[in-house]
Amino acid sequence: MEAKVYLRVLLKKWWIVIPAFLITLVSGIVFTFTKTPMYSATTSYVVVPSSSFSDKGSFANGLDMLGRRDEIATTFAEIASSRRIKQLATESLSLELGPNYTITSKLRAGTNIIEVTAQGPDPVAVRDLANAVGSAIEQYVQGLYEVFVLVPLDEATTPIGPVSPNVVLNLALAAALGLVLGACLAFLAEYLEAPLTSAISMNIIDDETGVYNREYFLRRLGEEMVRARRNRYPLSLGLMRIDNLSMIKGTDSPKVRAEMLRQVAMMANQYLREEDIVARLDRDTLALILPDTTGENAKALMEYLQTRVAWTPFQSSTGGVKINLKSVVGITAYSHNGTSRDELVAIAGRALQLAEVEDEGKAFLMTDHPNGEEHVA
Long-range contacts, stretch 246-250, CB < 8 angstroms, 24+ apart: 246/284, 247/323, 248/321, 248/323, 250/319
pLDDT of 292: 92
The larger pLDDT score, comparing residue 198 to residue 76, is at: 76
The larger pLDDT score, comparing residue 202 to residue 145, is at: 145
361 and 261: one domain?
yes
Q: Could you tell me the strand order of the sheet in which 364-367 lies?
A: 277-282, 285-291, 235-242, 327-334, 364-367, 374-376
* Cβ-based neighbours of 248, under 8 Å, separated by 6 or more: 256, 257, 260, 321, 323
pTM: 0.47
In a domain, 254, yes or no: yes
**Mean pLDDT on 281-296:** 90
CB 267 within 8 A of CB 305: yes
In a domain, 364, yes or no: yes
* Cβ-based neighbours of 50, under 8 Å, separated by 6 or more: 145, 146, 147, 148, 149
pLDDT of 1: 42
pLDDT above 50: residue 372? no
211 and 357: one domain?
yes
243 and 296: one domain?
yes
* Cβ-based neighbours of 174, under 8 Å, separated by 6 or more: 24, 25, 27, 28, 29, 31, 32
194, containing H or E segment? helix 167-201
78 and 220: one domain?
no
pLDDT band for position 291 (cuts 50, 70, 90) = very high
189 and 44: one domain?
no
| Crossing angle of helices 123-140 and 69-80, rounded to 10° | 140
pLDDT of 370: 54
pLDDT above 50: residue 185? yes
* Cβ-based neighbours of 43, under 8 Å, separated by 6 or more: 115, 116, 130, 131, 133, 134, 152, 154, 155, 156
Residue 180, phi then psi, degrees to nearest 5: -65, -45
pLDDT above 90: residue 355? no
pLDDT above 50: residue 159? yes
pLDDT above 70: residue 194? no
Residue pLDDT, tens place only, 69-90: 677 778 888 888 888 888 888 8
Dist CA 14 CA 82 (whole Å): 53
What CATH number does the domain containing 227 carry?
3.30.70.270
pLDDT above 50: residue 376? no
173 and 213: one domain?
no
* Cβ-based neighbours of 143, under 8 Å, separated by 6 or more: none
pLDDT of 164: 87
DSSP summary character for residue 205: B
pLDDT above 90: residue 364? no
Per the structure, the complete domain to which residue 9 belongs is given by 2-34+166-200
Q: Average per-residue pLDDT in the chain?
A: 81
Cα 244–Cα 249–Cα 253 angle in degrees, nearest 5:
90
Point out the domain boundary residue: 176, 200, 224.
200
pLDDT above 50: residue 367? yes
Dist CA 263 CA 261 (whole Å): 5
Residue pLDDT, tens place only, 248-284: 766 667 777 778 888 888 888 888 888 899 998 888 8
146 and 261: one domain?
no
Q: Structurally, how many domains does the chain consist of?
A: 3
pLDDT of 289: 94
